[in-house]
């Protein structure tokens, strides 16, 4: 039972961190696409 709670907590924390990092490092457009088109 304890292992389930620990894994669930870890998953929620890491998921939250990924969400925050995704917002922090958000870029406008796709630089690779622009490089290919030019």
- Reported as a single tens digit per residue, the pLDDT across 8-31 is 999 999 999 999 999 988 877 777
pLDDT at 27: 78
Which comes out higher in pLDDT, residue 37 or 22? 22
pLDDT at 38: 66
**pTM to 2 decimal places:** 0.59
* Residue spans of alpha helices (H) in the chain: 2-24, 31-37
pLDDT at 6: 98
In the DSSP assignment, the letter for residue 27 is -
Structure tokens at 6: 């620990």
Domain boundaries, the chain: 2-37
């Amino acid at each position: 039972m304890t292992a389930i709670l620990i894994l669930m907590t870890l998953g929620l924390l890491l998921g939250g961190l990924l969400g925050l990092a995704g917002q922090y490092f958000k870029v406008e457009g796709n630089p690779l696409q622009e490089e290919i088109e030019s």
